[in-house]
Amino acid sequence: MDAPDRVSVGVLADRGLPERVIRAIVDDLPEGFAARVSAETRWRVEHRVEQVPLDEAGDIPMRALSQRHRQERGWDLLVLVTDLPRRAGSRPVVAGIDVEHGVAMISLPALGAVLVRRRTRALIIRVVRQLVAQRLGIEEDQGGRGVLARLREALAPTQRVVDGHQSAATHLALVGLRGRLRLLAGMVRDNRPWRLVPHLAGATAAAAGTAAYGVITSSFWKLADALSPLRLAGITVVAVVVMAAWLMVYNHLWDRPSETADRRKALVYNVSTATTLAIGVACMYAILFALALLAAVVLIDSGHLAQTLGHPVGVGSYMNLVWLSSSVGIVAGALGSSLEDEETVRKATYSRRERERQEGNRSQREDQPA
């Protein structure tokens, strides 16, 4: 049977990060397919942006989507790109490939927090090569069987896993600590922790007001001058942890599934939430520190500060004062966050698809008989 001289690839991307990534790389894909899959084949790539649906079990119905989109749009292959973490059993999945039905799925969080566009482009080329290998009469993996290829495969944080329920389906799963850390980094990036600051108006106001009070209060000057840098650093860490923990507990962000298997899966989501909050609070701390330092330089005369402390002052004296004031301000910000609406905090902490996942979990728990 002759290999087809033209292959049409459709890419269906979720809104948000998948949309931005695909728009940036879609024009380069035909050239990549020609270079890494088959130079004799003419490649046509189209992309659409819409929410990738989930079935009742919370899975992506790859085969149903493949049948519908390939028939409607005349695509030979379909690649789904989502920002939802996926699993094969207990293993986080980078990609799922169903050769029989000409469809593959890519989960962006499993690609980590950096080089996402490059990794997505390389992975799309890899899964398309696997989808068309039999039709084009080529090897599924271009890596070869040499020593370097085997070494790269052994060191990679991914591993091919055959789906025991669907013989034609395989998964590229994350393995080992490195793989799980990459998934965690990708989930935190997708949550965009830097968005936390502008959404927490009450917490930010309380933190700024307390820090300002510390900057202009002589008792803070003396206390900051008496503390060592190591103790000030410890106070900062404790302040960030306290506020992150308060936000998580007060706003019910800790995922507590009833089933044992679900608890294991929820662990990575809870660690992702805690890390997102910690980074968001750290961003708030950095902004607060910069503003407090500016206020201290403008408001506090160095001669008056030296007279109060009883010794000559320099940059270090101002830094210590701002350091302590910002840390105390962050603790006050935790209390100020109590004024925020829980849904506002959730929107600031989670990506859109992660909020949908949590809402689905809550609905399932409410539907279960007591």
Task: Say if CB 90 and CB 162 are below 8 A apart.
Answer: no
Distance between CA atoms of 361 and 178, rounded to whole angstroms?
A: 28
Backbone angles phi and psi of 96, in degrees to 5: -120, 135
Do 48 and 197 sit in the same domain of this protein? Answer: no
Paired sense of beta strands 158-162 and 6-13, if any = unpaired
Q: What is the C-alpha end-to-end distance of the chain, expressed in Å?
A: 59
Q: How does pLDDT run across 66-124, given as a tens digit for each residue?
A: 999 998 999 999 999 998 888 776 678 888 899 889 999 999 998 988 899 999 999 99
- If asked whether residues 31 and 166 sit together in one domain, one would say yes
Over the Cα atoms of the chain, what is R_g?
26
56 domain residue, yes or no: yes
- At residue 370, the pLDDT reads 47
| CA dist 22 → 45, 64, 72 (Å) | 11, 22, 21
Give the chain's domain count: 2
Q: What is the pLDDT of residue 141?
A: 64
Residue 318 confidence class, pLDDT cut points 50, 70, 90: very high
- For 260-298, what is each residue's pLDDT tens digit? 556 666 778 888 889 999 999 999 999 999 999 999 999
- Does residue 148 carry a pLDDT above 50? no
Q: What is the pTM of this model?
A: 0.80
Is residue 10 located within the same domain as residue 152?
yes
The burial of 345, by beta-carbon neighbours within 10 Å (0-12 exposed, 13-18 middle, 19 or more buried), is given as buried
- Looking at the structure, tell me whether residues 179 and 202 fall in a common domain: no
Please give the DSSP secondary-structure letter assigned to residue 15: T
Domain boundary among the residues 183, 205, 234 is at 183
Q: What is the CATH number of the domain that holds 158?
A: 3.40.390
Q: Is residue 368 part of a domain?
A: no
Structural domain that includes position 280:
193-350
